[in-house]
Amino acid sequence: MTRVAIIGASMTQFGQREGWIQELLAEAGLACLADANVDAADVEHLYVSNMASGEFEGQTGVMNGLAHDLDAMPAYTQRIDQTSSSGGAGIYAAWQSIASGASEMTMLVGGEKMTHRTTGEATDVIASLTHPAEYKTGVTLPSFAGLTARHYLERFDAPRESLGKVAVKNHKNGVDNPKAQFQKEVDLETVLESPIVADPLRLYDFCPITDGSAALMFCPESIAQEYTDEYAIVAGVDGATDTQVVHEREDPTIMGGVVESGSGAYEMSGYGPDDIDVAELHDMFTILEFLQMEGLGFAEQGEAWKLVEEGYTERDTGELPVNTSGGLKSKGHPLGASGVAQAVEIYEQLVGEAGPRQVEADVGLCCNVGGFGNCVITTIMESGQMEAGQ
Amino acid sequence: MTMDATRYANGSITYPGHPRGPGGAEPVETVDLSEYTAEVVTWTTSMATPPGVREPNTLAIVEFDVDGEPVRAIGQATTDEIETGDEVRPVYVEELREPGAGIREPESQAWDGYRFEPV
């Protein structure tokens, strides 16, 4: 099978932006073309990861709009919506396009424009992914996080502070990411005394509402060196679903989509949890970092909190740095962009472009979660200088 | 009014029901959960609610025991004085949130249902 390379990446400033969705997508797209030294006319497939531009802004057809704005016609284009995991789903689609031979140059741009909506409105757009029996109760994604966090803390006798330490760590990492929405450290006391959002979780346990966009350029490894000496390889990628109705899952602390997509990505890549040098996990809520660490085999069930307490996931001193970008927690979470931005961080770590966030890494993983684990994509990337499964 | 769960050919029960149940089993009948009590598995009080939803909104995931078969459901609680392990019963409410205030098309679904009240 064709080995798929990533030869360029970009990310706009995340936060409250003046531009609307088409402008944000074009900004990241142009920057990615420049980073990869690729002409727009050479892009054969152009994918846009976006959850809800129609609902947020009344703008549909964003994939065609981007093709026109970049003068990338007649590239084949499609919009990819898998809720919050749209970015990861875009990576899977881009990988498929190259690996199958359907395209020799595919650009993926993920983006979302959200901050013009009130928190309640944005929360409702996201909660619209729930089953009618859930939606009528007024449940929100943060509510699912509160329900699950309480169960996790009570069942595994984990201290509330351990969740707060995830927020502290990711905010600390975000200080060194100039494109993060928040570049500010917070201490544990601030996290634990912040306003309650969904008991027992508080404001600093949640990611913000964000505008932003990110992009990646994919091509066969056989031509990657025509564009750059430093590239990354998509060593493994897989996606999986779990129940739409969250309470129907047998174990509230196991996200089946994380387990299944992780297993598939490990199998395809030939790597296992011990081979991963750096990971970007979908910390939309602090509790999700625990559930993904456990679902991906970095920790036993109910024990991820101990690793966080021990500093195992710290950027500069830990054995497995998690969310060196600052994570969704600090960097921000523009829905369709987030999965792409996770891979941008791993790409930059593997090609040595992460600046003050740089860690030693040959193999990296990102896990992009849609809904409350409803749809999940796990991607494993390796440095272009490595042989498969090395 | 009834709080309808669905029993499938393999004996499993879900709330809500689906065209196919666990293991691909076909539905065979409905079970009215409002005739049972349940135990609180976990709960939260949401302080930031969407348009048309009460604020704060205390929610619970509860587990019914229907003749030895566990069935979980999510619902609003009648009080924020609730704890994991509490026994609750379903209490009918005509409107759980204001139809049309949020993004969901009002005609696309029902808006009445049950809250969970500690016994």
B74 CB neighbours in chain A (<8 A) are 133-134, 137, 139, 147, 246-247
Task: Suggest the residue from B14, B57, B74, B111 to mutate for an interface test with chain A (most A CBs closer than 10 A).
Answer: B74
pTM of the full structure: 0.97
Q: What is the pLDDT of residue A385?
A: 74
Q: Is A166's pLDDT higher than 70?
A: yes
Q: B6 exposed, middle or buried (CB, 10 Å; 0-12, 13-18, 19+)? A: buried
Distance CA(A6)–CA(B54), nearest Å, equals: 47
B42 CB neighbours in chain A (<8 A) are 147-148, 150-151, 154, 252
User: Minimal Cα–Cα distance from A253 to chain B, Å?
Assistant: 12
A151 CB neighbours in chain B (<8 A) are 41-42, 84
ipTM for the predicted complex comes to: 0.98
pLDDT in tens, B10-68: 999 999 999 999 999 999 999 999 999 999 999 999 999 999 999 999 999 999 999 99
User: Minimal Cα–Cα distance from A271 to chain B, Å?
Assistant: 31
Cβ contact, residue pair A196, B47, below 8 Å: yes
Is A317 near chain B, with CB under 8 Å?
no
A196 CB neighbours in chain B (<8 A) are 45, 47
- Pick A132's closest partner by Cβ from B50, B54, B109: B109
pLDDT in tens, A29-57: 999 999 999 999 999 999 999 999 999 99
Q: Is residue B10 part of a domain?
A: no
User: Minimal Cα–Cα distance from A123 to chain B, Å?
Assistant: 6
Calculate helix-pair angle for A21-36, A62-69, nearest 10 degrees: 50
Q: Is residue B110 part of a domain?
A: yes
- Pick A198's closest partner by Cβ from B44, B54, B84: B44
Cβ contact, residue pair A136, B61, below 8 Å: no
Q: Is residue B9 part of a domain?
A: no
Domain count within chain A: 1
pLDDT in tens, A131-157: 999 999 999 999 999 999 999 999 999
Cβ contact, residue pair B42, A148, below 8 Å: yes
pLDDT in tens, A267-325: 999 999 999 999 999 999 999 999 999 999 999 999 999 999 999 999 999 999 999 99
Q: Is residue A276 part of a domain?
A: no
- Looking at chain A, the whole-number percentage of residues with pLDDT higher than 90 is 98
Is A346 near chain B, with CB under 8 Å?
no
Q: Is residue B78 part of a domain?
A: yes
User: Minimal Cα–Cα distance from B21 to chain A, Å?
Assistant: 11
Q: Is residue A318 part of a domain?
A: no
Q: Is residue A23 part of a domain?
A: yes
- Looking at chain A, the whole-number percentage of residues with pLDDT higher than 70 is 99
Q: Is residue B25 part of a domain?
A: no
Q: Calculate the average pLDDT of chain A.
A: 97
Task: Suggest the residue from A55, A128, A137 to mutate for an interface test with chain B (most B CBs closer than 10 A).
Answer: A137
**For residue A101, what are the domain limits?**
4-117+209-224
pLDDT in tens, B103-116: 999 999 999 999 99
Per-residue pLDDT band for A386 (boundaries 50, 70, 90) equals low
A121 CB neighbours in chain B (<8 A) are 50-51, 103
CA nearest to B3 within chain A: A133
Paired sense of beta strands A45-49 and A106-112, if any:
parallel
Q: Is residue B49 part of a domain?
A: yes
CA nearest to B51 within chain A: A120
Q: What is the pLDDT of residue A390?
A: 47
Q: Is residue B17 part of a domain?
A: no
A148 CB neighbours in chain B (<8 A) are 42
Domain count within chain B: 1
Distance CA(A15)–CA(A208), nearest Å, equals: 9
Q: Is residue B76 part of a domain?
A: yes
Size of interface A-B (CB pairs under 8 A): 122
Q: What is the pLDDT of residue A1?
A: 84
Q: Is residue A110 part of a domain?
A: yes
For residue A61, the domain's CATH number is: 3.40.47.10
Cβ contact, residue pair B42, A154, below 8 Å: yes
A134 CB neighbours in chain B (<8 A) are 74
Task: Suggest the residue from B6, B12, B42 to mutate for an interface test with chain A (most A CBs closer than 10 A).
Answer: B42
